A and B are shown apart, each in its own frame.
Chain A
Amino acid sequence: MNTRYLRYLTLVWLTLVTAGLLKPAQAQTPKRVVSGVVRDASGPLAEATIVEKGMPANATTSAANGEFHLTLKGSSSTIIITHVSFAAQEIKVRDLHVLVRVLLKPEEKGLEEATVVGFGNTKQRGTETGAVSSINAKEIQDVPTSSVQNALAGEVAGFVAVQRSGQPGRDASDFYIRGVSSLNPAANQPLILVDDIEYTYDQLMQINVQEIETITLLKDASSTAIYGIKGASGVMLVTTKRGIAGRPHFDIRVEGGEQSPVITPKFLSAYPAAILTNEALTNDGLKPQFTDADLAAFKAKNDPYGHPDVNWYKAIMRPLTQQANTDLDISGGTSHVKYFINAGAFTQNGTIRNFSTNTDGVDNNYFYNRYTLRSNLDIQASRNLSLRLDATTRYMDINQPYGQNVINDIYNYNDYHPFSAPFLNPNGSFAYAYDTQNEMPTLNAYLSTMGYTRDRRTDFNVLAGFTEKLGDITPGLQFTGRLGYASQQENVLTLWRGFDNPPSYHYNPYNKSYTLNTGPNGGGYVLGSWMTQAGTDIDNQRVNAQLFFNYDRVFNAAHHVNALLLWNEDNFRDDIGSIFHFPLGVPAKYTGYSLKLGYDYKQKYMADFNMGYNGSSRFQGGHQFGFFPAAGLGWNIAKENFWVPLENTISLFKLRASYGIVGSDVALGNQYLYAQTYNQGNGYSFGQSPQDGGTISEGPLGNNNVTWQKSRKYDIGLDFNMFKGKLTSTTDYFHEHVYNQLVVPANLPLILGVGVSPTNVGITQNLGWEETINYHDRIGQVTYSLGIVFTHNHNRILYEAEAYPAFPWLAVTGHQINQPFGYIFQGYYSAADVADPKVAKPNTATAVHPGDLKYKDLNGDGVIDQNDIKPISNPNVPNTTIGTPIKIGYKNFDLSVLFQGAFDYGFFLYGVAIEPFQSQWQPIHLKRWTPETAASAQFPRLTTNPTTVNSPAVYASNYWWINAYYIRLKNLDLNYNIPKKDLPLRLRSARIYLTAYNLLTWSNVKKKYQQDPEVQSNTVGDAYLNQKVIQLGIQVGL
């Protein structure tokens, strides 16, 4: 759909809206006014909504004294009284002259809790046949993190999240529903729908959690089949808050907190570092770098310029950083127009000390600022027609130092040592790492002078829709249309000083001379003038249109039928990319029809049939449209007659099962894989003065038969409620057979001469189980709720067209997706091993020494080489996650605590994270192998050589790969609700709360690596340190 259509549609849309609004008023009927009073246990209740049954437009709200008057217009003579925090009540008005007295009771969760399942549909816990879990955003609204996916970890079964970085604005977790199940990495991302419009990961992380009403995960085939070709990796549904009729409510939150790294890395000071440096050099038969006099000077710390000892981490980083969040909600409305308006501002600063001391005042610290605005409007245009208009925009700034990965520089031994340079020279000039190859000016010199890179992004979303009740045709039928538009634009602004390095000097304290750093390649270092550069790096638009019929009716008070018939179309364009770059500017178009049929008999027997028939432009004609059917069956045994004796103990006991097929059209790089592409590159040069001629070459061969990946999913579940809903439990066992996965076949002969596009050959399976248990009760005045949220999954590659491995243990088939491979540690080489020619040795030019890591010679050829690796440890995404939401309430205090843990995953870092002479000297290096400590060593012999058998980068092994786990005190939320009677002025409510995120962490990763256990494994571990946050907030309602 192009813009022409968009404009056309908008026109039609406006016509429709106008037509609806101008519709003549209903004919007058004799006035029938019902009056009453609403109260709760503590007294009269204001702002309850009173609606006439069957006439949603006819509503009013109770006054401060609880009183209301409503003119009945329909024929039902029934009113429904609702209030945000109470259970709805329905009252049949028998006599208009009698005052109706309504006592509202607190809403009881459990049996009747409704879950949003998409496109205006909800499902009751008692009748759901699919695997769906849901959370009210209230549960996570206080978590002091900027992105909603961080706040969800451990709260919802089936949600697996890993937070790879703590950088302000880039700290959103990667997440998966039921783990990883596809060989195609892009296909593992769930479909994210906000108010039924697709969002990207990036867009989701920017949503202000205060805008959100509920979040629902759809996990099995039955619940995701209507999303068909996009449903294979699960669906996350987010619904935003909407206005409730009544006088305007203002809700103001102001929060502020301190952050600090979850792990503060410790590095050895100059004296032990110099000793270890000398030891490694001696081990290699080289001359020690430091004399005894040097060592004495380092120990005495009395020569800060001749023998500097700088802890660069402490010198550059500050222990505490700040974040703050302000949020304003306004909601309310009349029976005709309801509104919810939210404005939020979030700011978070970074971990670098303030070095912008010079006059230019350039702020190059990390920071993140986000401003969000949402307005959700509901208009009851006529008796049957309601309209909605949601508009939201988000603006953010992410700042970081120009050209500098600060954590990497601090960890990187080749950049700076503790004894490389003083923080500043005595005359205040910058020093440089005089004793390194690169002779880089100190980190503070760069940070003081070199500018920043700033990403500035604007997101804009608008959703317009209408719902027409078609009771005229048949009761329970309604028709909805929606048009959504979303755009994202990001601009990168760089403020920098060209390619120059800041001037820096080596100070010689003995003759008090200063030498200007000329760098390893000569040439003077001068401070260049400021330059700016800007460019667009994200620019995309999405248009989504939906039309659907909903039908929901109960026949004879027994047969409940519901149905959805949906037409849906989505257009996505990404306009970045040029012929000189990997083309990103590829449109993606999606269209489809979905049908959902549900039936239950007295909530005892239930059946659902769901299907999607939808297509994607990523495939060629004939392969574009797929049919994705799924069915679910449920049986609530607790409704059977024979259950009556048990009914008081177990009020729900429902078995359910679902089976179906869903798909994924995701292609790596968003490409059209059927198309034969041609790449451009730098070329061969001809001519006397050779001129680069440029090249054009064939890209991977197009695959005409490319089509979607399919998942065949089973899910068996048991839901029960016991002790009057105090104990609720949901258990699911699932099995996914994922086939037709797009993988590049590795079994084609090379004489084909060209790469090929992925083909639909990969097969994996993923199975596991989930458990959500909650028990809530009260002891005297203490209410409490204890929960366990457990997710376990395990995947396995069944086929991926791998080339035949030289040895059976090298095969990836049969193992997990992204299974790490490595050598098997067998202790340290002893002197006898080194001398014994029968003991296998690695294939390097450097002979092994006692204290080197000894690995198993799997193929017995006497050489440790690439053929001696086998599967070790687990992939990096946890297979098991657990969360324990705990809530305790006492009088006006509420405490909620979430412990969250992840198990069964692999963790490994190399290079600047841990290797000597690449990383700074760390405490673990003190536990190195020496002849004296051979028995207790936790680190191999020290060597300067980066390619020995001791290097984790060259010889990844189970010595370095940890079978990791962590347990975190993830969220803590202590609330004090100020009693109504104590509220000053006309405040409706007020509370003060103390919250924390990542407060405590226990992990076995700490034993080896000084990084957060959630950062990306198999890297040098230089991610911005993940942060813990403690925050104080106050919320006031007016």
Chain B
Amino acid sequence: MKKFIIIIVITAAVSGCQKQYESQPLGQQVSIDYAFDTKDSAGSLALQFLNTCYQQALPNGHNRVGGDYLDAASDDAVSSQVTISKVQQIATGAYSAATPNGDDIWARNYAAIRDCNVFIGDIYRVPLAEKLPNGQPAIAAYRSEARFLRAWLYFELVKRYGGVPLLGDTVFTITQNVQVPRNSFADCINYIVSECNNIKDSLRTVAMITGTTYGRITKGAAMALKAEALMLAASPLYNGGNIDGTDPLTGYPSYDATRWQTAAQAAQDVINLGVYSLMPNFKNIFTTQAQPVGANTESIFWVQNGANNSVEKSNSPIGFSSAGAQGNTSVTQNLVDAFPTDSGYAITDSGVGYDPNNPYENRDPRLLATVFCNGTSFWLNRAIQTYDGGADKPGGSVVQTKTGYYMRKFMGPWETAQGTTQFGNTYHDYIYFRYAGILLDYAEATNEFSGPSTDVYNVLFQLRQRAGIFPGANGYYGLPMNMDQATMRAAIQNEKRIEMAFEEKRYWDIRRWKIAASVYNSAPLQGMDIVQPGNGLLSYNRVPVLTTSFKDPQMYLYPIPYSEVVKNPQMKQNPGW
């Protein structure tokens, strides 16, 4: 029996192990206390959580949609890809609720909203010691950044889907009822505006930004977001042009002119801050870091992108293959034609110096800052060759321009770079809001509310002057005098198209202005077929490159993803889908 006692001892000893189940599994970072450590006065892990919010909320707009700019899904460009690109699917209306288009951000944005809500709800657990330069606790600024990002995420959703479910500060648990209905369009706009109002004063101002906080959301960004949201709300698609009658999910039930007034005031407030001004050189806007660390006085809100050459590589003409050029973006003739002459006249005006056989001479300098044109644009010390058989349009099945043009905008100054066949690194922050856009908002809203006043004209004068257009004898930069409201509206719309090409504006503006159906359905998008016959004289022929299609009216809003509607009976689908 002695042995038995020993055996029992062993049993007892081994049984002792039973209590040793790990209370927390080692090696996994668990519980909210990990990220939001109540003893971490530096808040380093919590701020990494905020980094997640930034990363999720601010996608890099360069070649964002399946390798293309979103604007390549508008009438400004087409993708050069050989296969059917995501932007082409959008432009040709090849998407549905079950197979969403390449810009469907539903899942991504709700994931990011959740991240923001986690941060907003838990950041006060962290005893963050940091102070802003004005002595205020930085914790409030960080929390406001997350609230800004959340408002921005909703703004991006509302642009696409109309009214969407507003979750407030809710962080859903796995057992909670996630089947929530959509809020009205008005609720969403009001929410975004009130968030911006509430946070603007606790955010950093531009002056408080330092070399290490560069890239953080500022007060100006919140005010600009408010202006943009109000512009959206005042726009024809929602304000009087509701595609679903009086359904509050898809817009306002009726027109209200004061929405334009509110929007104009919001833009005016940004202007009145006195912080921002136009950059003297158009090209430099996109390659210069924002003030105060850089010289860019125009940037208000952007996604950090650092210094690199990815934009150059992705979009430079394909003849520069040794530099890695892929030529992804084929600019349409439609956009090229929108640029006026260097005197500011539309090229369709007669007797303004536009030569169809020399079409890129004497044009608004923004043309060559935006588009690579055959023979006229230079790149790495060589003239662009997009004539048939040229180095940048060799024919065959390789990826190359479909239109005779490539995109130039956003790139560094590699026209005349000496002694290199490679692109160096340039700052490529992708700007969501810049001062020129706010000016145009102000002009558009003011024109809509009270007509083409001097203030409205002044906005166009400022932009054209900066672009390098000759003011002309009357100082009108080629613009007609005494335009009526509709003419001025068209002038503003064209100015915005050429000033802000590839900045994800045109694609949304044609929807917001409710002109997308006519833009997409009127005629095929055009390119320029340039032939170099034996005599060396080029011949230019406009050719159709893509027949776009837009189902009116349902494509004014994206379909809510099919699976989302199936999983949630409360989720009402947009009209027509």
Return the CB mask of B84-102 against A: 1 if under 8 Å, else 0.
1100100000100011000
**A675 and B28 contact, Cβ closer than 8 Å, known pairs A284-B397, A547-B14, A845-B81:** yes
Contacts of B49 in A (CB 8 A): 695-697
Within 8 A of B (CB), among A688-711: 688-690, 693-698, 701-704
Q: How far is the CB of A906 from chain B (nearest CB, A)?
A: 26
Beta-carbon contact of B566 and A694 below 8 Å: no
Which residue of chain B has its CB nearest to the CB of A385?
B3
Offer 5 A-B interface pairs, CB within 8 angstroms, sorted by A: A2-B20, A19-B2, A19-B6, A675-B28, A686-B214
Report Cα–Cα, A804/B88, bound state, in Å: 27
Judged by a CB distance under 8 angstroms, whether A749 is at the interface is yes
Write the residues of chain B forming the contact surface with A, with a CB cutoff of 8 angstroms. 2-3, 6-7, 9-11, 13-18, 20-22, 24-32, 34-35, 45, 47-49, 51-52, 54-55, 58, 81-85, 88, 94, 98-99, 106-107, 110-115, 118, 165, 167, 172-174, 178-180, 211-216, 289, 293-294, 304, 306-307, 322, 324, 396-397, 561-564, 566-568, 571
Beta-carbon contact of B11 and A547 below 8 Å: yes
CB < 8 Å neighbour of B27 from A577, A680, A803: A577
Q: How far is the CB of B489 from chain A (nearest CB, A)?
A: 36
Report Cα–Cα, A971/B562, bound state, in Å: 54
**A749 and B94 contact, Cβ closer than 8 Å, known pairs A9-B13, A694-B48:** no
Which residue of chain A has its CB nearest to the CB of B165?
A751
Judged by a CB distance under 8 angstroms, whether A589 is at the interface is yes
Judged by a CB distance under 8 angstroms, whether A846 is at the interface is yes
Q: How far is the CB of B144 from chain A (nearest CB, A)?
A: 16
Judged by a CB distance under 8 angstroms, whether A947 is at the interface is yes
Contacts of A945 in B (CB 8 A): 82, 397
Which residue of chain A has its CB nearest to the CB of B397?
A284
Within 8 A of B (CB), among A184-240: none
Q: How far is the CB of A622 from chain B (nearest CB, A)?
A: 12
Beta-carbon contact of B396 and A687 below 8 Å: no
Within 8 A of B (CB), among A834-848: 843-846
Beta-carbon contact of B214 and A9 below 8 Å: no
Report Cα–Cα, A181/B85, bound state, in Å: 40
Beta-carbon contact of B566 and A804 below 8 Å: yes
Contacts of B18 in A (CB 8 A): 569, 591
Report Cα–Cα, A553/B84, bound state, in Å: 77
Beta-carbon contact of A944 and B564 below 8 Å: no
CB < 8 Å neighbour of B51 from A522, A694, A698: A694
Judged by a CB distance under 8 angstroms, whether A5 is at the interface is yes
Beta-carbon contact of B178 and A752 below 8 Å: yes
Contacts of A696 in B (CB 8 A): 29, 34-35, 45, 48-49, 51-52
Beta-carbon contact of A286 and B397 below 8 Å: yes
Judged by a CB distance under 8 angstroms, whether A291 is at the interface is no
Report Cα–Cα, A944/B2, bound state, in Å: 83
Contacts of B293 in A (CB 8 A): 688
**A749 and B564 contact, Cβ closer than 8 Å, known pairs A583-B28, A585-B27:** yes
CB < 8 Å neighbour of B26 from A547, A586, A751, A866: A586
Contacts of B99 in A (CB 8 A): 806, 865-867
Beta-carbon contact of A684 and B304 below 8 Å: yes
Contacts of A748 in B (CB 8 A): 178, 567
Report Cα–Cα, A589/B215, bound state, in Å: 47
Which residue of chain A has its CB nearest to the CB of B81?
A845
Contacts of B21 in A (CB 8 A): 589, 617, 624
Judged by a CB distance under 8 angstroms, whether A1029 is at the interface is no
Within 8 A of B (CB), among A574-591: 577, 579, 583-587, 589, 591
Which residue of chain B has its CB nearest to the CB of A802?
B563
Within 8 A of B (CB), among A501-526: 521-522
Beta-carbon contact of B22 and A750 below 8 Å: no
Contacts of A12 in B (CB 8 A): 6, 9-10, 13
Q: Given A285-B397, A545-B14, A947-B82, 7 other A-B contacts at CB below 8 A?
A: A284-B396, A579-B29, A672-B25, A684-B58, A749-B568, A756-B174, A843-B94
Beta-carbon contact of B567 and A749 below 8 Å: yes
Write the residues of chain A forming the contact surface with B, with a CB cutoff of 8 angstroms. 1-2, 5, 8-9, 12-13, 15-16, 19-20, 284-287, 385, 468, 479, 481, 521-522, 545, 547, 567, 569, 571, 577, 579, 583-587, 589, 591, 617, 624, 671-672, 675-681, 683-690, 693-698, 701-704, 747-754, 756, 803-804, 806, 843-846, 865-867, 944-945, 947
Beta-carbon contact of B396 and A286 below 8 Å: yes
Which residue of chain A has its CB nearest to the CB of B115?
A697
Beta-carbon contact of A685 and B215 below 8 Å: yes
Contacts of B10 in A (CB 8 A): 9, 12-13, 16, 481, 547
Which residue of chain A has its CB nearest to the CB of B14?
A545
Report Cα–Cα, A694/B167, bound state, in Å: 27
Report Cα–Cα, A25/B49, bound state, in Å: 72
Report Cα–Cα, A907/B20, bound state, in Å: 47
Beta-carbon contact of A586 and B567 below 8 Å: no
**A690 and B564 contact, Cβ closer than 8 Å, known pairs A672-B28, A696-B48, A753-B110:** no
Beta-carbon contact of A685 and B571 below 8 Å: no
**A481 and B7 contact, Cβ closer than 8 Å, known pairs A749-B568, A945-B397:** yes
Q: How far is the CB of A859 from chain B (nearest CB, A)?
A: 10
Beta-carbon contact of B84 and A686 below 8 Å: no
Report Cα–Cα, A665/B26, bound state, in Å: 18
Contacts of A702 in B (CB 8 A): 174
Beta-carbon contact of B106 and A750 below 8 Å: yes
Beta-carbon contact of A752 and B172 below 8 Å: yes
CB < 8 Å neighbour of A751 from B167, B174, B306, B322: B167
Beta-carbon contact of A688 and B7 below 8 Å: no
CB < 8 Å neighbour of B396 from A287, A688, A804: A287
Beta-carbon contact of B14 and A1 below 8 Å: yes
Which residue of chain A has its CB nearest to the CB of B44?
A694
Q: Which 6 A-B pairs have the closest CB atoms?
A: A753-B114, A585-B27, A806-B98, A672-B25, A1-B17, A583-B27
Q: How far is the CB of B569 from chain A (nearest CB, A)?
A: 10
Beta-carbon contact of A5 and B178 below 8 Å: no
Report Cα–Cα, A9/B30, bound state, in Å: 33
Q: How far is the CB of B107 from chain A (nearest CB, A)?
A: 4
Report Cα–Cα, A16/B165, bound state, in Å: 70
**A686 and B216 contact, Cβ closer than 8 Å, known pairs A286-B397, A676-B31, A749-B567:** yes
Beta-carbon contact of A693 and B98 below 8 Å: no
Beta-carbon contact of A846 and B55 below 8 Å: no
Beta-carbon contact of A586 and B111 below 8 Å: no
CB < 8 Å neighbour of A844 from B84, B215, B306, B561: B84
**A803 and B28 contact, Cβ closer than 8 Å, known pairs A685-B304, A698-B115, A703-B174:** no
Report Cα–Cα, A149/B564, bound state, in Å: 46
Report Cα–Cα, A754/B322, bound state, in Å: 42
Beta-carbon contact of B7 and A479 below 8 Å: yes
Report Cα–Cα, A15/B29, bound state, in Å: 42
